Structure 1
């Protein structure tokens, strides 16, 4: 499938919104317990998406592949990936969390090459190597300073879970009813996080305007709009070409965190982000060429 101007616009908008979610999440967890906040967010996002989907005539009579998308994305992306990230960002900066999350396309390429037998052209291998070097530079610099190793570990586990979900979801985006799929997988995430929220957290919320703005933004934009754009983009151009736009995540992730949260970036951080960005782009372009 050919990437046209509309697909490029969709991909760039998705990349910006997806990257900004780390900054808004960082704000939310400073004022509310992360699992409770995320459960409520998923519940609200799900209701909004399903109501709009029904108003548009979309059905919840999904194909088998779409139900797989609902369950797998609801558990792996929402409950594990976002849940662990929200917990981690109580102590981990948004810029570092976004950098770790941005390695997902590299992990997908590595997994398909190592475990699924897919051939990776020389450009893709070079991109993988570059991405690993970039991550090593950033992590080496951060671990020498004050960084919560446990929180970083949670971010690593979360991106692995998203990688697994991505590998399992090949071909499950066809069949329409995209907004309904988005809403239903939000409900799966809310149900999965409700129990650990009750068991492990105390419901104490510091009501501030910062929390309100961050929560509403996360609810509407990363919660519904970005997910819908992703499903539409994959349906329009395919999963591999769509994944190219993940190379925007490290740049926009650290830029937005620096501007809105004042997070400091060292020279090694900047170099590492550039190397990771080039590595992700090289891997995805090599797949398209192949």
Structure 2
């Protein structure tokens, strides 16, 4: 009797610890995207690589869904909403980033542009939702995060030509991830993350495949490409994208977007560890400022929003947190 009661008490604590770690695991996973691009981009065109990534991810997810008997959305409207978010958050965001890098823009510049997402999200939420006005502390945190972000990527912005094409692709990626985050928070109901991700990836593949077929550069099956593809499927798509879906369902859109500020500093740190890229004191200071800014932006709402979790992390049925 006492043993069963102890186990019942341990399970919620374990779930809270697991959900509490989700944002930081997400940041670490998401930060590897530019590292993977460094390995894979020389051997494949952007949309060709992404089409393979989506297709292989669908195979893995389909097997997982079949074995686990994961539920599918019951409402037809949810299928359409998931397809829309898949087009924005997968095809639009990833396609824009990878195509921009392929056309010569430095990865640090892309990180800086996409890093403006929290400011766009916060401004939109504050202007359109009178019940969710941001406090001065959150605005200060967002601005500090942007300032720290500039310090981190400033050195990495050098050495690449910025054209109207690759700049436009980067801005398109920024608006895609921002619109996708807000759209999902507004219209997508809490669903099983596996089936939801499957629908999103199907839509992304349908959008990306025609573009991939029009690309003239062939895919060269180099070991680096295979490694980048395996990491992209197993870690970035199945892990990172699923975590992003869960975080959006559990937290306010501004809180989730603020986590994106941590991605470029973490990417710079990974590049220093893996590729021996120079880490200056300016970049280190930028990381510290970014962490402070994120702490201010999520202060007070982050624990409540993210820890009000359902019975199982893979099933997003439960509290939706704040509306965007």
Instruction: Settle same-fold status: TM greater than 0.5.
Output: yes
Q: Is the 8 A contact 2:48 2:209 kept in 1?
A: yes
- Cα offsets for 1:96-137 (capped at 9, x unmatched): 434443442332112212344441111012123323433555
Q: Which has the higher contact order (CA 8 A, sep 6+)?
A: 1
Q: d(CA) in 1 for partners of 2:186 and 2:299?
A: 20
Q: Does 1:198 align with 2:213?
A: yes
Q: Is the 8 A contact 1:94 1:254 kept in 2?
A: no
The corresponding residue for 1:110 is: 123
The Cα shift of 1:287 comes to 5.0
Q: d(CA) in 1 for partners of 2:112 and 2:28?
A: 14
The corresponding residue for 1:164 is: 179
User: Is the alpha carbon distance of 1:216 and 1:203 closer, same or farther for their aligned partners in structure 2, counting shifts above 3 Å?
Assistant: same
Q: d(CA) in 2 for partners of 1:53 and 1:267?
A: 47
Q: Is the 8 A contact 2:106 2:156 kept in 1?
A: no
The Cα shift of 1:222 comes to 0.5
Q: Does 1:176 align with 2:186?
A: no
Q: Does 1:215 align with 2:233?
A: no
Aligned with 1:120 (options 134, 159, 176): 134
- Cα offsets for 1:182-207 (capped at 9, x unmatched): 112111111101122222x2141333
The corresponding residue for 1:8 is: 20
Corresponding residue pairs, total: 286
Q: Does 1:48 align with 2:63?
A: no
The corresponding residue for 1:38 is: 50
Structure 1 unaligned segments of length 5 or more: list them: none
User: Is the alpha carbon distance of 1:226 and 1:42 closer, same or farther for their aligned partners in structure 2, counting shifts above 3 Å?
Assistant: same
Q: Is the 8 A contact 2:137 2:296 kept in 1?
A: yes
Aligned with 2:145 (options 131, 151, 171): 131
The corresponding residue for 2:251 is: 238
The corresponding residue for 1:281 is: 295
User: Is the alpha carbon distance of 1:256 and 1:71 closer, same or farther for their aligned partners in structure 2, counting shifts above 3 Å?
Assistant: same
Q: Is the 8 A contact 1:131 1:280 kept in 2?
A: yes
User: Is the alpha carbon distance of 1:282 and 1:195 closer, same or farther for their aligned partners in structure 2, counting shifts above 3 Å?
Assistant: same
CA RMSD of aligned residues (A): 2.9
The Cα shift of 1:218 comes to 0.6
The Cα shift of 1:75 comes to 0.9
Q: Does 1:256 align with 2:270?
A: yes
The Cα shift of 1:245 comes to 4.2
Q: Is the 8 A contact 1:42 1:189 kept in 2?
A: yes
User: SS in structure 2 opposite 1:169?
Assistant: helix
The corresponding residue for 2:9 is: none
User: Is the alpha carbon distance of 1:262 and 1:93 closer, same or farther for their aligned partners in structure 2, counting shifts above 3 Å?
Assistant: farther
Aligned with 1:224 (options 238, 241, 244): 238
User: SS in structure 1 opposite 2:69?
Assistant: coil
Q: d(CA) in 2 for partners of 1:113 and 1:268?
A: 32
Structure 2 unaligned segments of length 5 or more: list them: 1-12, 305-321
Length-normalised TM-score, structure 1: 0.84
